[in-house]
Amino acid sequence: MTEIPEHLLKRSRERRSAIGQGDDTAAAADAPAASSTPATTPSTAAAAGTPAPAATGPAARTGVPAAAPPPPPKPDPVYVQAAKQRKKIPFWAMAALSLMPIWAFMYVRAITESPEVLAGPLGEGAEVYGNCASCHGAAGDGGVGYPFAGEEVLKTFPHIEDQIRYVYYGTEGFNAAGVEIYGNPDRPGGPHIAGGRGVMPQFGGQLTQAEIIAVVCHERYTLGGADPTSEEFAAEFETWCSPESPVFEAVESGEYDITSPEGEEFGEVEVAPVGPEPVDGSAAG
């Protein structure tokens, strides 16, 4: 070690005395002795085999261990991946698709033939028949009242005037007039007796005369099965029930009253009057 020169020590003592830190004479006296002793450094201590003094002070701060990263998400199932990759329907197309049921309905209506609407008495009679269906059945197969189907109505009323008369006056009218048999008195299976099976309402006054003619035509030719082209019913159909029926047109216009006591000729056909009161039915022939 190199000794500190005396003049440097003296200058140090003077300086310390000037700033009021006491006399360092003793310290200076010991300085040579101390300086003459070789300083021990970590390197020399290690060389001499003496362990270096342990460093003092706070322990080094260790960092908080980082959190483990979350596990990767599970892959979507194959069908979910396919749904995500599938092309979506554009928004503008949704409005068009919502109208598909309406278009389908209109298309079906366009290619479906409209049901045939019958003209004249048969067409109007089909609508009026709602007043009769509750007793005689929607298809004329009977119920409380007698059936019309299977030509049953033709067996009872060979002449349309007899049927119109019974519909117009009803059971009450026939009973009040003392008329027991309506329609064909020689009917197969026996004649029909007024009030024998239920009560026939009196529709005269409830329906117009034209409506009564129309519903009777419907019951005879649509439900009863009368053939308008046959020799037996051709003249009746043309006079009473055809679209050009002269009786129906005359009654509808008010030119003819079916309750007139006298008949009237329509072309080559003379129509028997329904009459102002019930009368016995007429036989076939």
Domain residue ranges of the chain, discontinuous segments joined by +: 121-271
Q: Which tokens belong to 182?
A: 């309506």
Lowest mean pLDDT among 29-43, 92-106, 122-136: 29-43
What would the pLDDT profile of 247-269 be if each residue is shown by its tens digit?
A: 999 999 999 999 999 889 998 88
Residues 161-176 have a mean pLDDT of 95
Please, what CATH class does the domain formed by 121-271 belong to? mainly alpha
What local confidence, expressed as pLDDT, does residue 100 receive?
Answer: 76
Neighbours of 230 (CB within 10 A): 10
Phi and psi torsions of 269, nearest 5°: -110, 130
Confidence of residue 33 (pLDDT cuts 50, 70, 90): very low
Q: What is the DSSP string of 62-99?
A: PPPPPPPPPPPPPPPPHHHHHHHHSPPPPHHHHHHHHT
- Which tens digit of pLDDT belongs to each residue from 103-146? 677 777 666 665 555 678 999 999 999 999 999 999 999 999 99
Least confident of 49-58, 157-166, 261-270: 49-58
pLDDT at position 79: 73
The predicted model scores a pTM of 0.60
Taking residues 1-20, report their average pLDDT.
73
Of the candidates 194, 216, 192, 193, the residue with the CA atom closest to the CA atom of residue 131: 216
Other C-beta atoms closer than 10 Å to the C-beta of 258 total: 21
List the one residue out of 223, 51, 210 whose CA is nearest residue 153: 223
Q: Which amino acid is at 259?
A: T
